[in-house]
Structure 1
Amino acid sequence: MTAPRSLQARLAAALSIGLALVWLAASAAAYAVMRHEMGEVFDSAIQETAQRILPLAVMEIIDREPTDLQRVAPVRPHHELLTYVVRDEAGTIVLASHDADPAIFPASVPAGFSTTATHRIYAEAALKGSLTILLAEPIAVRRAAVNHAAEALALPIALLVPLSFAGVWLAVRAGMRPIRRLCAAIETRGAGDMTPLAAGPMPSEIEPIAAAVNHLLDRLRRTLEAERSFTANSAHELRTPIASALAQTQRLLAETRDSRTAERARTIEATLKTLARLAEKLMQLARAEGGRLLAEAPYDAGPIVRLVCADVARAPDAAGRLALALPDGAVSTRMDPDALSILVRNLVENALKHGDARETVSVRLDPDGRLAVVNGGAVVPADVLARLSRPFERGATGADGTGLGLAIVDAVARGAGTTLALRSPAPGRPDGFAAEVKLPA
């Protein structure tokens, strides 16, 4: 049997088992005490009965011949639980109760109590030992009485044990409430949320854990902020010198008359444009990984998707290649508008750049908030598909690129509490590539 993994279940099970053992031990002790006390009560009743009957028996016997056996007639017919006989000095029975069986009385019985296989015997002498009364009570009667008392004791215990188990479970559940609150506070945090856990009343055993988690969150926050700040600042600071160098290169290209110099200038221009795009993508990646990607209130995502697609469609390589499909009604989302525009732009640019130039790129926004971008092209192997959302990871393509587009989309999706799904071949066709994101509502 596997032990429960839940701490609450383990504590409740341990306490319940311990409580059950305590109840069992207490019941066994109570049964033993009750059996002893009831035995004393029965013995006392036999002794008192013998002492009350003996004087009457003496008066009944003293005026008769000792050899005469007389049975005491009952007032009304009944079954005797206590039977008795009176013996003389020779051991002859001279008086007996109406149901008494002489065979159950031993021939030689010491004064006081004794026990046979079937009866509890009490002997009391009178007239200097010339007469002896013996009372017998069936042991089965005592056993039945003890068993009935035990059943009466066991019934409330049988009801109390399940109630006590329920009480233990509720008590443990109430005691574990601070731990559940702490776990819920950690689980409900979105990506990039490094704010400290709310301070509140906690058991002394849990306070060090909450403090350690807060220290860890603070260290992670400072580390991530330093990394994002470095990436964003570096990309931002690179934009100005890259733009200046690009402007100077384009001026040189316009003024030179030497073909070799012009060729080198065009190479430098292409390199600087690549650096400019890389700086822009790094800034977008820093923005995507910086958290706070949800808007305070939901809004319609359709206009932003339309605006971004219209802007991308102005590029020479995108002319006539975009097919946009938007629903008639509004599509509500809480993704930050800037983050949504970054996500859509990177998906569409990636599809235009790496898809088959002879086929259109389909951009579809469904009423349920699912955004799908599909392009034609060869099927991407599954192992490559699994790596495409990593930074600087590229598939088998000859197109220019930084390898950051899908990494940025994945970072935006995770920061907004959703996921990026990549499929190849695209759904419903034998080839192509599809990227889908379910916008957070």
Structure 2
Amino acid sequence: AQRLRAKLSDPAKIDNIVEIETGLKRLERLIERLLQLSRAQSGLGLNAVATDVSPVITLLMSEMRSRSRTPEKIELKFPETHFSTRVDPDALGIILNNMFDNALKHARGPLPTVVDASQSGRVAVVNDCAPLSPADLDRIKQRFNRRGALSDGYGLGLSIIQDLCAQSGCQLEIYVPRELSPRGFAAVLRLPETTNDPR
């Protein structure tokens, strides 16, 4: 679609190509979410052996910044210690990527989006957006329910997170608005710790 758009000079045709390209990107995201949902429903969640997930969290945070259109508006606080857990790294990756995508997608304010993984076993994701009503919060938790025209994830992201948290023993806490502010959205993921140190 991008190559075709570069070759066209008619504004009407360019607009059509842009619409097709946008539709294809939305379809790609929907397919990705449905594959994640399938994996979540198949029982992905726990490893037999505990592993240190700090490198996984660090990598996912770095990738979040690299794929953002406004990396200067992202503040990252990386893990400072090892954290041993039986949560499957793939499940953790799906959970965190959905949390990161939601935070970036709905950020609509001057404050940065913050990912704080500096406390062992805890990842907090906070953005700046208009405050959600309790009814809005209930609606975005329901599978296949979209929140306005800005949401192109078809409401699957939070549902996938909830399914994987239930299977892996993680806890997801949501705060609306963010702490010490009348605006924003905060999601805090708490991972179950294990005494089985993989090092």
Deviation at 1:417, TM superposition (A): 2.3
Check the 8 A contact 2:79/2:120 in 1, yes or no: no
Greater helix content: 1
The 2-side partners of 1:284 and 1:368 are apart by 26
- Among 150, 158, 163, the residue aligned to 1:406: 158
The equivalent of 2:29 in structure 1 is 277
1:381 is matched by which residue type in structure 2?
A: S
In the alignment, residue 53 of structure 2 is paired with which amino acid? A
Partner of 2:58: 306
1:356 aligns with 2:108: yes
Residue 370 of structure 1 and its aligned partner are, at CA, apart by 2.1
2:40 corresponds, among 288, 301, 318, to 288
Distance 1:370 1:402, change over 3 A: same
2:13 corresponds to which letter in structure 1?
T
- Aligned equivalent of 1:428: 180
Look up the match of 2:16: 264
- 1:381 to partner: Cα distance: 1.0
Q: Give 1:344 deviation, angstroms.
A: 0.9
* Secondary structure of 1:278 counterpart: helix
2:57, 2:79 within 8 Å by CA — same for their partners in 1? no
Q: Secondary structure at the match of 2:72?
A: coil
What secondary structure sits across from 2:142 in the alignment?
coil
Q: Give ranges in structure 1 of 5+ residues lacking alignment.
A: 1-248
User: Hey, what's the Cα distance between the residues in 1 that align with 2:118 and 2:86?
Assistant: 16
Provide structure 2 residue ranges, at least 5 long, that are not aligned to the other structure: 194-199
Per-residue CA deviations over 1:198-230 (Å, capped at 9, x if unaligned) read xxxxxxxxxxxxxxxxxxxxxxxxxxxxxxxxx
- Does the CA contact (< 8 Å) of 2:87 and 2:191 recur in 1? yes
Task: Quote the residue 1:317 is aligned against.
Answer: 69
Q: Deviations over 1:289-336 (max 9, x none)?
A: 211311122222221111112112112424112222234221222111
The CA distance in 2 between the partners of 1:273 and 1:329, in whole Å, is: 37
* 2:136 maps to 1:384: yes
| Structure 2 length-normalised TM | 0.86
The structural deviation recorded for 1:439 is 1.0
**Partners of 2:66 and 2:177 in 1: CA distance:** 28
The 8 Å contact of residues 81 and 120 in structure 2, kept in 1 or not, is answered as no
Partners of 1:421 and 1:410 in 2: how far apart? Answer: 10
The whole-number CA distance in structure 2 between the counterparts of 1:308 and 1:407 is: 20
What SS does structure 2 have at the residue aligned with 1:287? Answer: helix
Deviation of the 1:269 alpha carbon: 1.0
TM value normalised by structure 1: 0.41
> Secondary structure of the equivalent of 1:304?
helix
Q: Distance in 2 between the 1:333 and 1:378 partners?
A: 35
Q: Is the 8 A contact 1:425 1:433 kept in 2?
A: yes
Whole-Å separation in 1 of the counterparts to 2:78 and 2:4: 46
Deviation at 1:399, TM superposition (A): 5.1
The one-letter code sitting in structure 1 at the alignment partner of 2:74 is L
Higher-RCO chain (CA-CA 8 Å, sequence separation at least 6): 2
Residue 271 of structure 1 and its aligned partner are, at CA, apart by 0.6
CA distance in 1: counterparts of 2:18 and 2:177, whole angstroms? 37
Picking from 96, 99, 105, the partner of 1:347 is: 99
Please give the alpha-carbon distance, in whole angstroms, between the structure 2 residues aligned to 1:365 and 1:344. 11
C-alpha change, 1:252 and 1:298, in structure 2 (3 Å) is same
- CA–CA separation in structure 1 for the residues paired with 2:9 and 2:123: 50
Contact 1:356 1:377 (C-alpha < 8 Å) held by counterparts: yes
Matches of residues 20-419 of structure 1 in structure 2 within 5 Å? 249-365=1-117, 367-396=119-148, 398=150, 400-419=152-171
The structure with more radius of gyration = 1
Does the CA-based 8 Å contact 1:288-1:408 persist in structure 2?
Answer: yes
Number of the residue aligned with 1:112: none
One-letter code of the match for 1:311?
E
Q: Residue 276 of structure 1 aligns to a residue in which SS?
A: helix
CA distance in 2, matches of 1:384, 1:273: 25
Identity %: 36
Q: Distance in 1 between matches of 2:63 and 2:27?
A: 21
Contact 1:312 1:318 in 2 (8 A): no
What is the one-letter code of the residue matched to 1:429?
Answer: S
CA drift of 1:429 comes to 2.8
SS at match of 1:421: strand
Aligned length: 193
> Cα offset for 1:424?
0.3
